[in-house]
Structure 1
Amino acid sequence: MSTQAAPAAVVTNLRRGILPLAGYAVLTAAMDVYAGNRFEVINPASIAAVSFTLTMVFFAGVEWRRHGPPQRTTLLAHRNDLVAINITTALTWLSTFYALWYLEPAIVNVVGLALGPMIMTLTGPLLRRHSTVMATEVLVSVAIGVLLAALMWTSFSGRSGLGDVPTADAVLGLVFSLTCAVGSAVNIIYMKRLHDAGCEAGTVLATRFVLMSVVAWILVALEGQPELMAALLPGAVVAVIGVGLPIYVLQVGIRYTEPITTSLLISLSPLFAFAMQFADGRLRFSLYTLAGVVGVVVLVAVGVVARRSTVTAPVPSGADGTTGVPPARDHQASAERGGSSP
Structure 2
Amino acid sequence: MVEIRGLIHQVGLIHRVGLGRLAVLAAVILQALGKIAFGTWLTDVSSPAFVFVSFSLTALVFLIRSSSGQGERDWLALLGLNLATALTFLCFFFALKLIEPAIVGAIEIGVGPMLALLIAFVVAGQKPALVQVIVSLGIGLGCVFLGLSALSGEGYALSGTHAWIGLVASVLAGIGAVLITILSKRLIGRGWSFGAVLAHRFYVIIPLSLILALVDGDPFGAITLELWGIILGVSVVGVLLPLYLLQVGVGRCDPYTLMVTMSALPVVTFLLEGLSPVYSWTWLTASGLVVVMLFIGLDILSNRESA
On whether the aligned pair clears a TM of 0.5, the verdict is: yes
For residues 244-272 of structure 1, give each alpha carbon's deviation from its aligned partner in whole angstroms, at most 9, with x where no partner exists.
11111112222222110111111111111
- What corresponds to 1:29 in structure 2? 32
Residue 243 in structure 1 maps to residue 239 in structure 2: yes
Paired residue for 1:83, among 66, 79, 85? Answer: 79
Paired residue for 1:195, among 181, 188, 195? Answer: 188
- What corresponds to 1:258 in structure 2? 254
- What corresponds to 1:154 in structure 2? 149
- Point out where structure 1 has 5 or more consecutive residues left out of the alignment: 313-342
Aligned-partner residue type, residue 199 of structure 1: W
- CA 1:248–1:52 in structure 2 vs 1: closer, same or farther (change >3 Å)? same
Residue 14 in structure 1 maps to residue 32 in structure 2: no
Paired residue for 1:98, among 94, 98, 101? Answer: 94
Between 89-98 and 133-142, report the one with greater CA deviation: 133-142
- What corresponds to 2:7 in structure 1? 4
Q: How far off its partner does 1:117 sit?
A: 0.7
For residues 132-160 of structure 1, give each alpha carbon's deviation from its aligned partner in whole angstroms, at most 9, with x where no partner exists.
632211111011112211211112123x2
- CA 1:44–1:103 in structure 2 vs 1: closer, same or farther (change >3 Å)? same
For residues 109-132 of structure 1, give each alpha carbon's deviation from its aligned partner in whole angstroms, at most 9, with x where no partner exists.
1111132112111123345x2766
Q: How far off its partner does 1:276 sit?
A: 0.9
Residue 46 in structure 1 maps to residue 42 in structure 2: no
Instruction: Return the alpha-carbon distance in structure 1 between the equivalents of residues 14 and 131 of structure 2.
Output: 19
- What corresponds to 2:175 in structure 1? 182
Instruction: Return the alpha-carbon distance in structure 2 between the equivalents of residues 58 and 46 of structure 1.
Output: 19
* Partners of 1:264 and 1:304 within 8 A in 2: no
For residues 48-96 of structure 1, give each alpha carbon's deviation from its aligned partner in whole angstroms, at most 9, with x where no partner exists.
11111111111111123xx3xx77xx57x22111111111111000011
Higher Cα Rg, which structure: 1
Instruction: Return the alpha-carbon distance in structure 2 between the equivalents of residues 259 and 307 of structure 1.
Output: 14
Instruction: Return the alpha-carbon distance in structure 1 between the equivalents of residues 105 and 168 of structure 2.
Output: 13
- What corresponds to 1:268 in structure 2? 264
Instruction: Return the alpha-carbon distance in structure 2 between the equivalents of residues 281 and 16 of structure 1.
Output: 35
Between 42-51 and 223-232, report the one with greater CA deviation: 223-232
Q: How far off its partner does 1:211 sit?
A: 1.0
* Partners of 2:139 and 2:292 within 8 A in 1: yes
- What corresponds to 1:135 in structure 2? 130
* Partners of 2:142 and 2:288 within 8 A in 1: yes
TM-score, normalised with respect to structure 2? 0.91
Q: Percent identity?
A: 27
Aligned-partner residue type, residue 185 of structure 2: K
Instruction: Return the alpha-carbon distance in structure 2 between the equivalents of residues 292 and 36 of structure 1.
Output: 21
- Point out where structure 2 has 5 or more consecutive residues left out of the alignment: none
Within 5 Å, which residues of 2 pair with 1:120-131? Answer: 120-127=116-123, 129=124
Instruction: Return the alpha-carbon distance in structure 1 between the equivalents of residues 94 and 186 of structure 2.
Output: 28
Instruction: Return the alpha-carbon distance in structure 1 between the equivalents of residues 235 and 247 of structure 2.
Output: 16
Q: How far off its partner does 1:289 sit?
A: 0.8
- What corresponds to 1:145 in structure 2? 140
For residues 202-258 of structure 1, give each alpha carbon's deviation from its aligned partner in whole angstroms, at most 9, with x where no partner exists.
321111112111111111221223235346334312321122111111122222221
CA-atom RMSD in angstroms:
2.0
Aligned-partner residue type, residue 50 of structure 1: V
* Partners of 1:253 and 1:262 within 8 A in 2: yes
Q: How far off its partner does 1:98 sit?
A: 0.4
* Partners of 2:194 and 2:248 within 8 A in 1: no
* Partners of 2:48 and 2:209 within 8 A in 1: yes
Aligned-partner residue type, residue 59 of structure 2: M
- What corresponds to 1:334 in structure 2? none
Residue 219 in structure 1 maps to residue 219 in structure 2: no
Q: How far off its partner does 1:39 sit?
A: 4.2
Task: Give 3-state SS (helix, strand or coil) of 1:279's partner.
Answer: coil
Aligned-partner residue type, residue 219 of structure 2: P
Within 5 Å, which residues of 2 pair with 1:35-74? Answer: 35-64=38-67, 67=68, 74=71
